[in-house]
Amino acid sequence: MARAASYFPSTRIIMDSLGCAPIRSTIAKDWAGIQMCKWHGTIDTCAYDAPDDILLVYHLGGSSHVPVSANIKGQSSISRPGLVSILHRNTSVRWEVDGKFSSLSLHISDKYFTFPPNSDNICERLKAEPALAFRNPFISATLEALAAEMSTEIEDNGLLAESLVSALCAYIERNICVDFTLLSPSVLSKEQMIILYDYIDQMLEQRISVRDLADIVDLPQAEFSKRFYLSNRKTPYQFIIERRINKSLDFLRRKNYDICEIALRCGFSSQSHFSTTFKKILGVTPAYFRTNNS
């Protein structure tokens, strides 16, 4: 088995996007057809256009809310520490990190599948659809074991690493390729969010129920609440309250509306409710904000 002499194409794509090399890698190890990297830094985005490698990304730490989207079927999700993404051929993926990040990437090339006992080419049978930001203890534990092997100073021929990757590929094929759509936490589409935003803004003076919002996008209430939170990192109630507070700021900057009228125009049941909520979110009372922002 030949020693890896350079970074894989899929590794270089990530390096080019991040503008840096991995802080640790297996480039000097005898892992035939396999390469692992550890990444750490602060970035805005990471764009990945997959070559023929299979790529597993394990979100270790840093930003706890990273939108991730793929070019296949408009898939999107939210990545957080502890979640894994699996990317296959012809996949373009974009992570909107906007902050610190720490992750592991496992790159499995076609070469790996040419060695026995992998010659039945699991790679060809794996689905092309990505699985974005899902939790799987087996995959996470296997990636952590591979990371430990990456860091060890013990000289070996890569047999343990290759055995772990063989088990990982077999597990993915058997347990995950059955239905990738069940793995990625579903989020609301951009079109659904635009419809919901418009509806909420038009109805801020009135009572808005979660059931009403769920009906608009034709989802069961519980499923809608889950998807809404994954899309916005806020519950529907929190989102509506923040929109009402934002609307109140425009009224408060004008002198021709008293605070009680503003409260009702923004959908609060009373001036007291408005003032309490306003101070809880912004740290000052509506009267204080008006005085200092007129």
Taking only the tens place, the pLDDT of each residue in 31-48 is 888 999 999 999 888 988
Diameter of the chain measured on Cα atoms: 79
Residue ending a domain, among 182, 199, 231, is 182
Domain contains 13: yes
Between the alpha carbon of residue 67 and those of residues 132, 138, 186, 233, the distances in Å are 10, 24, 12, 10
In this structure, the answer to whether residues 206 and 163 fall within a common structural domain is no
Q: Is 189 within 8 Å of 231 (Cβ atoms)?
A: no
Q: Are residues 155 and 197 in the same domain?
A: no
Same domain, 98 and 194: no
Q: How many distinct structural domains can be found in the chain?
A: 2
**Segment (H or E) for 97:** strand 92-108
Question: Quick one: pLDDT at residue 186?
Answer: 65
- Whether 194 and 167 share a structural domain: no
Q: Is residue 4 part of a domain?
A: no
CB 149 within 8 A of CB 161: yes
| pLDDT value of position 5 | 56
For residues 282 and 177, state if they share a domain.
no
How far, in Å, CA of 228 to CA of 234, rounded?
7
The amino acid sitting at 266 is C
Which has the closest alpha carbon to 161: 183, 180, 146?
146
Residue 40: CATH number of its domain = 2.60.120.810
274 and 164 share a domain? Answer: no
Token pair in block for residue 26: 């297996």
The Cα–Cα gap between 277 and 205 comes to: 16
Same-domain pairing of 103 and 151: yes
Both 97 and 158 in one domain: the answer is yes
Indicate which CATH number applies to the domain containing 230.
1.10.10.60
The pLDDT value recorded for residue 43 is 87
Same domain for 246 and 148?
A: no
How far, in Å, CA of 257 to CA of 247, rounded? 13
| pLDDT recorded at residue 231 | 81
Residues of the chain predicted below pLDDT 50: 1-4, 115-120, 178-185
Q: Which two tokens stand for residue 267?
A: 């959908």
**Strands 76-79 and 34-49, how do they pair?**
unpaired
223 shares a domain with 175: no
Q: Does 100 fall in a domain?
A: yes
In angstroms, the CA 48 to CA 233 distance is: 24
- Cis (ω within 30 of 0) for the bond into 117? yes
286: nearest Cα among 204, 269, 265, 258: 258
For residue 147, the enclosing domain spans 9-182
Examine the fold and report which residue of 165, 182, 199 is the final residue of a domain before the chain moves on.
182
Q: Please say which residue of 148, 182, 216 terminates a domain.
A: 182
- What's the pTM value of the predicted model, to 2 decimals? 0.58
Q: Quote the CA–CA distance of 57 and 94 in Å, as a whole number.
A: 12
In a domain, 2, yes or no: no
Same domain, 264 and 174: no
pLDDT at 119: 43
Residue 95 belongs to some domain of the structure? yes
Please report whether residue 104 resides in a domain.
yes
Which pLDDT belongs to residue 195? 92
What is the number of H-type helices and E-type strands within the chain? Answer: 11, 8
Same-domain check for residues 240 and 178: no
